[in-house]
Structure 1
């Protein structure tokens, strides 16, 4: 009992010493990162694992945000760095991390596929569009994805993909989200004449580039390395 208690105190003392060293070197004890939900999970988690190995005393808080929710976190000074999709908030600059492709897709049983011909945007208007809810409070950034008034709005991408597989509607999905569903036939790309594919980009943004701490800069560097190695 005394041995375990003593070992616990020694471990706690070591953690406090490492934390003090981090503070002395300018390393943050906590980092807050906002990531647009479209961003692929694999390179993000690889980056966070490497950062945790290098800086075990730094806590990381991850905000998974959608559209203007990411902008609001940046503008409100609530995060130390962010990954934005398809643009950056006014007054900020960003560095392109990764380009992505989004595909219009629906279940093979969906009525749009049963038409058996190339589709126009007008064809889509008669069917339900699956939309992921903007996580921002003001929702000021207009969406380029909404093409019909018939919508099912959900909060999570997994819900949207599942709904599409069940034939509840169609959507444009980042290719990374639906690789398995495309491979096993649960979803099929829609044969749109124009707009079947949409391209976008993710940007690494600091709220205050000049004032970014050592940890924020290192995390940003790891994100750039992880995305450079990710399949395009």
Structure 2
């Protein structure tokens, strides 16, 4: 066990910060003799001089600077520990688990997590990037605190969050674009469609598949977008995910007579809103706030 207490380090830090024992005593509401005794006791226990006189004031010795620098880390950690304990006593969760459908706008998700970490730096976050029924299945199994999904969950009530706009796209040199005319379902069925696999284990869904002769199924939306940019097929993808590729000409909307644009409303669902802790409630609010904050940016044009 350490012979030096945190209180001794705190008193040393106060003496250094205020330039002497008298001023430090006023700041921390202790007598100068108490501070003097604590610091001298610290030096005696460590066998190292940490302060030296400079006129009527004192300053750290070279060894004192090194030791106090390390001690400040201990003091900060101790404060953080007490803060965590206080929040836990108030019912703060140690960890929250999220299932967010991959079509949720990534800028809004990043903004939400960043703001949440500022407010709750000690709460761990587990994020599951799900597809279709995958998140619903986790909610029904009691594995997540919050779900963002375009599908309803039986026995749960959701709240509208954002509507995501999907666009049918392909590489500018794709065979469908080379037809140089409006396209219909028969045209699409002759070419490879890229589909993102439902992440559910029990109830998977081939959402959006047009029964094309060729189908490649991948596990992540980013994989599908990468294949689109390599001219390996066509797909419907969220506009927020491909806006830079559209603007740079790496992808191009397909000129469909109908169905070229789809809109998917996403909702946020609590596992148990009445019993949700402060961190879970705060994360839900951050998701709502971030969607609203991003609504006016270029990446959110035409979403809601």
TM range (shorter): over 0.9
Tell me whether 1:144 sits opposite 2:214 in the alignment.
no
Structure number with larger C-alpha Rg:
2
Tell me whether 1:157 sits opposite 2:221 in the alignment.
yes
In structure 2, what is the equivalent of residue 116 of structure 1? Answer: 180
The farther-off stretch of 171-180 and 221-230 is: 221-230
In structure 2, what is the equivalent of residue 66 of structure 1? Answer: 131
The farther-off stretch of 161-170 and 144-153 is: 144-153
Tell me whether 1:84 sits opposite 2:149 in the alignment.
yes
Matched residue of 1:60: which SS? strand
Count of aligned positions: 230
Matched residue of 1:204: which SS? strand
**How many Å apart are 1:93 and its aligned residue?**
1.1
Alpha-carbon distance between aligned partners in 1 of 2:188 and 2:129, rounded to the nearest angstrom? 29
Unaligned regions of 5+ residues in structure 2, if any? 1-65, 296-302
Matched residue of 1:137: which SS? coil
Higher relative contact order (CA 8 A, sep 6+): 1
More helix by share: 2
**How many Å apart are 1:91 and its aligned residue?**
1.1
- 1:127-175: CA deviations, max 9, x gaps? 10011122111234x3331112411112222221111111110000100
In structure 2, what is the equivalent of residue 51 of structure 1? Answer: 116
Pick the aligned partner of 2:165 from 74, 77, 101. 101
- 1:187-210: CA deviations, max 9, x gaps? 110011111000111110001122
Tell me whether 1:39 sits opposite 2:39 in the alignment.
no
Determine if contact 2:189/2:213 at 8 Å carries over to the other structure: yes
Alpha-carbon distance between aligned partners in 1 of 2:189 and 2:123, rounded to the nearest angstrom? 49
Runs ≥4 residues deviating over 3 A: 1-9
**How many Å apart are 1:3 and its aligned residue?**
4.3
Matched residue of 1:199: which SS? strand
**How many Å apart are 1:4 and its aligned residue?**
5.4
Unaligned regions of 5+ residues in structure 1, if any? none
The farther-off stretch of 190-199 and 130-139 is: 130-139
RMSD of the alignment, in Å? 1.5
Matched residue of 1:209: which SS? coil
Pick the aligned partner of 2:242 from 170, 178, 182. 178
**How many Å apart are 1:7 and its aligned residue?**
3.6
Determine if contact 2:103/2:164 at 8 Å carries over to the other structure: no
Alpha-carbon distance between aligned partners in 2 of 1:139 and 1:170, rounded to the nearest angstrom? 25
Alpha-carbon distance between aligned partners in 2 of 1:52 and 1:93, rounded to the nearest angstrom? 27
Tell me whether 1:223 sits opposite 2:274 in the alignment.
no
Matched residue of 2:274: which SS? helix
